[in-house]
Amino acid sequence: MNNKELFKISKYVYAESFLQSQLDMSGTSVSSVMEKMEKNKRYIKNQVIFTKIIMVLYVSFLILLPITGYMQIEKAINEGISITWILFLGGVINGGYFLFQFAYLLMFGMFSSTGLFTGNIFDWLSTLPFKKKEMNKIGIMTLFRVIDAQFIALMLIFPLATAIFTKSIIITLISLGISTLNTIFSFNVLIILSKKFASVIKGAEANAKGSNLTRILFLVGYLATTMFAVLGIQFLIPIINPLYFQEPTNLALFESLNKWIGLVPFPLSGGYLLTSFLVGFDNISFLQILPYLAGLAIFALIDYLLLKKSLKIMNDVIISRIDSKTQKFKVSTVSDVSITVVSPIKAFIKRDKSMILRDIQSIIFILFPFILPWVPFFLALEPGTGFDEIDGFGIIGLIYCIMGSIMIIMGLSSIEKTGTTINASLPIIVRDQVKARIKWAFVIIPLGTLLPVIMHIGKPFFWDILVIQVLIAIVGLLFGTFTLLLRIRLFGKMKNKYTLANVKFRYKIAKNVLLFALDLILMIVIVVGFVSQLTSRDIVEFTLIIFPIELVLAFSLYFVYNKMFPRPRKLD
Amino acid sequence: MENIEHALLDVKSLSKSFENVQAVDNLSFHIRKGEIYGLLGPNGAGKTTTIKLILGLLEADAGDISVLGLNPETDEVEIKNRIGYVSEEPLIYKSLTPKELFNFIASIRKLDGEKVSKKLAEYLEGLSAIEYYERLISTLSRGNKQKVQIIAAILHDPEILIMDEPLAGLDAKSVRVVKEIIELHTKRGGSVLFSTHIMEIAEDICDRIGIINNGKLVAEGDFEELRQRANAIGDDVDLEDIFLKLTDQDESINGIIEKLRTTML
Ligand SMILES: Nc1ncnc2c1ncn2[C@@H]1O[C@H](COP(=O)(O)OP(=O)(O)OP(=O)(O)O)[C@@H](O)[C@H]1O
Ligand SMILES: [Mg+2]
């Protein structure tokens, strides 16, 4: 078979591996991924393209960091800033860029590449009449398909931007060389880590604590990089660039630092070498760049060794020589059986806790109410001292709190999907079930909303912010409860979600649209009302108006709740 | 009237249709105390739909159901306190372990912790499921999931056991144990509604069998009665033939077998 045909075949292996990665990452919400696929045949394709575009976008964002630095270097030299200082900053900033690029690749590559290692995707190939050599080729081609866009972005965006901004062929070539070394390094590390990661999250071990922790860490890392890519860079550039013009006094320290840390193969040697060329040999001697060249030589050697290792891993995967380590399971005995009976509401909460920690989707839904309220604090690190600045702060906080409460309700409502037939057999009192949900919301929403206030302890407007956040948290709770009740009203009681499918799930899309529209309208009304009051009054007046309204709404919701889920009557 | 008095479960003229299928069609039967009643029918006959109607999981188009003298549509919680249900599809929280699941169930059913622990340990051991006690349900094999589901259904000593194809996926030993569980349950005075599409199983386990096809009851009686009907049709006719005949499958199956012969030989 020729290479072209093999490349065609690798497409199927690739689709398979991507699906496998999605399933691995979703933990136990596998069925929902499958469901999405059934509904939308292009689901996988879209996901693939989306992941790739995001990665390329982020790298393009990030490129601003070194590029804006180039211009500062020229200016700084003209202003007579010490070369030692410029070299240090330039080296570290470029190195930082390489490091971030590397981190991005791991974050985004891992999504698509773990599937190569977890699901024995090459197994079915071995049932077909391929030669071993052809199998190997297919494996490498599959890997390339997984990371093609990322590969090209990583390799070329940096030299391209360098070429455009420096218009120097030599510097462009150097950046291309460094970029190549970085790219090889990054991909080899990606393969090695994916393999490690794959064995951690592999289905059968999904219960292991380490695997849950890995999922959570990965997710937090993912959210952090995303936030950084979108918000962080904006803040970093104005902070970092002026540093070029703030020369420190102890230059001797930096002089030796430049020598020693410039030896660190990744990411600093490359950063330093590039900066040296940017600074130009009018300003530094050729001897000075020797440590950087040495560092890069070591880097090349490391690349070579890593390449050998990752090729071996690929090879093992393809011919299924992967050590199928005998998994260590706890084998329980009769003495382990000891049932503790708690109240039904507590039982629901305990069950939810176990399930949320094992399901990446639910983790996201629970994490968001904690993460979102930080955004306004992050956006306005110094929200001024007067009350006026606090307004904007309150508005954004309110919107994010409402969004967080919608998410948590959505997350909690989808959690029961895999247990529907057990639920169908249990004498569940719906009131208990709903109460357990509301309890979750009552812990998470206030906690998530109030935690960021800590940032403002000791500031003059601390009490104002605290009061506003408390009022916002109450809005979040009311909103969450409202959404929950509306959902149940529209989609039927949760216990019957599966079994009553054909009865209550008619017009599912229309109902979802209705739910969304109602939530949106309500959110706009609340935000507009909140804001108009907040901007026209002082905090005491504001509280005196908003709080009673919240109380009235709370009582009405409680009334509706009691109507929908009456206390169970006692049978005698 | 005699029936009502002894019937723990009474279904009268039950009908249910989905968009274009009449899944249950004017179906009537009852189950007495201490009896194992088998709903036997081919795939798609309406067994699962009937069971869901009995549990109040679907709303009937027409007909009356009485479970332990209660109405499933209004007394759902009370009914579920007193029956055990093994569903066809074990959707039993795959991201929990059996341990967590049984803790959850015992709490929802407000059982006595100490008593239930003892019982649970025995069931788990009897069905050789004890070693999976702390593993994720999603990692269990289909048969082991089924065992978990069966134990979940009998933990509270229900008066009626409703089992939808409970033996699917079980190995020989576990089939034996489940049969034993069913037997003991009836000795205690409990009743069982048992659905299956496999005739031998119905013959082996059930006291009385209702053969159901296209949502209709086509024959009912104990094993002997059904055999006599078979004999009445012809000498050479066994129960399998009558099952296929009653469910309109006898002719089509001969055609299929004929076709298979020509393609495979
Ligand atoms: N939710 C539904 N929507 C539409 N049709 C349904 C639904 N559930 C069942 N049916 C149809 O009703 C009929 C009876 O189905 P049912 O599941 O009760 O059969 P069954 O006897 O349990 O079959 P099996 O032996 O395969 O379990 C079938 O034709 C089926 O396609
Ligand atoms: Mg069925």
For B:83-112, CB contacts with A below 8 A are 84-87, 89-97, 99-112
Flag whether B1 is in a domain. no
Domain count, chain B: 2
Mark whether B123 and B238 lie in a shared domain. Answer: no
User: Is the Cα dihedral B159, B163, B169, B171 positive or negative?
Assistant: positive
Mark whether B112 and B198 lie in a shared domain. Answer: yes
Mark whether B127 and B169 lie in a shared domain. Answer: yes
Mark whether B251 and B164 lie in a shared domain. Answer: no
Average pLDDT over residues A224-245: 71
Min Cα distance B253 → chain A (Å) is 32
List chain B pLDDT tens, one digit each, 265 residues: 344 455 789 999 999 988 788 999 999 999 998 899 999 988 888 999 999 889 888 888 899 999 999 988 888 889 999 999 998 887 788 788 899 999 999 999 999 999 999 999 999 988 888 988 988 887 788 888 889 999 999 999 999 999 999 998 888 888 888 888 898 889 888 999 999 988 888 888 899 999 898 888 988 888 888 777 767 766 665 666 777 776 677 777 777 888 888 887 7
Mark whether B94 and B155 lie in a shared domain. Answer: yes
Mark whether B47 and B126 lie in a shared domain. Answer: yes
Which of A421, A428, A565, A571 has the highest number of chain B CBs within 10 A, making it the mutation to test binding with B? A421
In this structure, what DSSP letter does residue A568 have? P
Mark whether B129 and B29 lie in a shared domain. Answer: yes
Out of B96, B133, B139, the one facing A204 most closely (by C-beta) is B139
Range of lowest pLDDT (A41-50, A62-71, B122-131): A41-50
Average pLDDT over residues A247-259: 82
Flag whether B65 is in a domain. yes
Flag whether B138 is in a domain. yes
pLDDT band at A571 (very low <50, low <70, confident <90, very high): low
Flag whether B101 is in a domain. yes
**∠A477-A483-A487 over CA atoms, to 5°?**
150
pLDDT band at A345 (very low <50, low <70, confident <90, very high): very high
Mark whether B150 and B260 lie in a shared domain. Answer: no
Q: What is the ipTM of this complex?
A: 0.86
**∠A311-A317-A322 over CA atoms, to 5°?**
115
**CATH code where residue B214 lies:** 3.40.50.300
The ligand placed nearest to the CA atom of residue B23 is 1
Instruction: Note the pLDDT tens digit of each residue in B47-96.
Output: 999 998 898 888 888 999 999 999 888 888 899 999 999 988 877 887 88
Helices and strands (H, E) in chain A, number of each type: 24, 0
Min Cα distance B13 → chain A (Å) is 21
Mark whether B89 and B135 lie in a shared domain. Answer: yes
Helices and strands (H, E) in chain B, number of each type: 11, 9
Share of chain B above pLDDT 90, in %: 38
**∠A92-A226-A269 over CA atoms, to 5°?**
20
For B:214-253, CB contacts with A below 8 A are none
pLDDT value at residue A199 = 66
Flag whether B117 is in a domain. yes
Instruction: Note the pLDDT tens digit of each residue in A470-489.
Output: 999 999 999 999 998 888 88
- The 3-state DSSP class for residue B42 equals coil
Q: In the predicted model, is pLDDT for residue A386 greater than 80?
A: no
pLDDT value at residue B136 = 82
Q: In the predicted model, is pLDDT for residue A569 greater than 80?
A: no
pLDDT value at residue A243 = 82
C-alpha–C-alpha distance, residues B107 and A511, integer Å: 34
| Residue B44 Cβ < 6 Å to ligand 1 | yes
Q: In the predicted model, is pLDDT for residue A319 greater than 70?
A: no
Predicted TM-score (pTM) above 0.90: no
Task: Please choose, from the candidates B94, B129, B235, the residue with its C-alpha nearest in 3D space to the C-alpha of residue A32.
Answer: B94
User: Which one has a higher pLDDT value, A245 or B252?
Assistant: A245
Query: Per-domain residue ranges for chain A?
Result: 48-113+143-322, 344-564
Task: Please choose, from the candidates A209, A186, A202, the residue with its C-alpha nearest in 3D space to the C-alpha of residue A59.
Answer: A186
Kind and range of the H or E element at A53? helix A43-62
| Residue B48 Cβ < 6 Å to ligand 1 | yes
Burial class (CB in 10 A: 0-12, 13-18, 19+), B125: middle
Q: In the predicted model, is pLDDT for residue A136 greater than 80?
A: no
Cα of B169 from ligand 2 centre, angstroms: 14
Q: Please name the residue whose Cα sits nearest to atom 14 of ligand 1.
A: B46
Whether A424 contacts A537, CB under 8 Å:
no
| Residue B23 Cβ < 6 Å to ligand 1 | yes
Beginning with the edge strand found earlier in the chain, give each strand of the sheet holding B62-67 in spatial order.
B21-32, B7-18, B62-67
B104 with A502: Cβ contact below 8 A: no
pLDDT value at residue B67 = 93
pLDDT value at residue A324 = 47
B90 with A336: Cβ contact below 8 A: no
Mark whether B15 and B46 lie in a shared domain. Answer: yes
Out of A330, A359, A424, the one facing B85 most closely (by C-beta) is A424
Q: In the predicted model, is pLDDT for residue A369 greater than 80?
A: yes
Min Cα distance A206 → chain B (Å) is 8
Flag whether B246 is in a domain. yes
Range of lowest pLDDT (A101-115, A296-310, B120-134, B193-207): A101-115
Whether A401 contacts A472, CB under 8 Å:
yes
pLDDT band at A529 (very low <50, low <70, confident <90, very high): confident
Task: Please choose, from the candidates A407, A395, A510, A385, the residue with its C-alpha nearest in 3D space to the C-alpha of residue A456.
Answer: A385
Domain that holds residue B216: 7-221
Whether A356 contacts A363, CB under 8 Å:
yes
Mark whether B153 and B209 lie in a shared domain. Answer: yes
Range of lowest pLDDT (A167-181, A346-360, A502-516): A502-516
Instruction: Note the pLDDT tens digit of each residue in A149-188.
Output: 878 888 888 899 889 888 889 999 999 999 999 999 988 8
Kind and range of the H or E element at B8? strand B7-18
Mark whether B165 and B40 lie in a shared domain. Answer: yes
